[in-house]
Structure 1
Amino acid sequence: MVLFGLGRLFYVILLLINAVAVLSEERFLRRIGLGRSNDEAPVFGQDQNTTKSKVVQLIGAVQTLLRSMLI
């Protein structure tokens, strides 16, 4: 008996994508330090590919993609 099949895996992935899509930047993401702001741009010599910046970019990309699918 398979407890965790492809159907459940697809369902879990879909729910996680939905959870990322509905996160509010003003209410939640800025509070935990994951909001996009202009003053946090990398300066000379600073690594711009940190894990935090990649997570922020991923959240923004998912939200933009799902917004564009609704139009």
Structure 2
Amino acid sequence: MLVEEPSTTGPSARSPRWSSPEAVNAVAGLDFTDFHHLDAKGITAVVRYTGAVIPEADVRRAIDELRQ
């Protein structure tokens, strides 16, 4: 895995120094600067990166716990 170099502007998913190609692909197309649906975007990135299947009931339960 590649390591990000210090930056005053923050990491960029377009920079090859930021992370592995797999991580870049996992977040491709997800706008984390827009605060709407951050839970869904995060879950989407994890599923893309790991290839895991998360049962819908588990996702709903986890989101409900975060919002308590």
TM-score normalized by the length of structure 2: 0.24
Query: Quick check: which has more Rg, 1 or 2?
Result: 1
- RCO (CA 8 Å, sep 6+): is it higher in 1 or 2? 1
TM-score normalized by the length of structure 1: 0.24
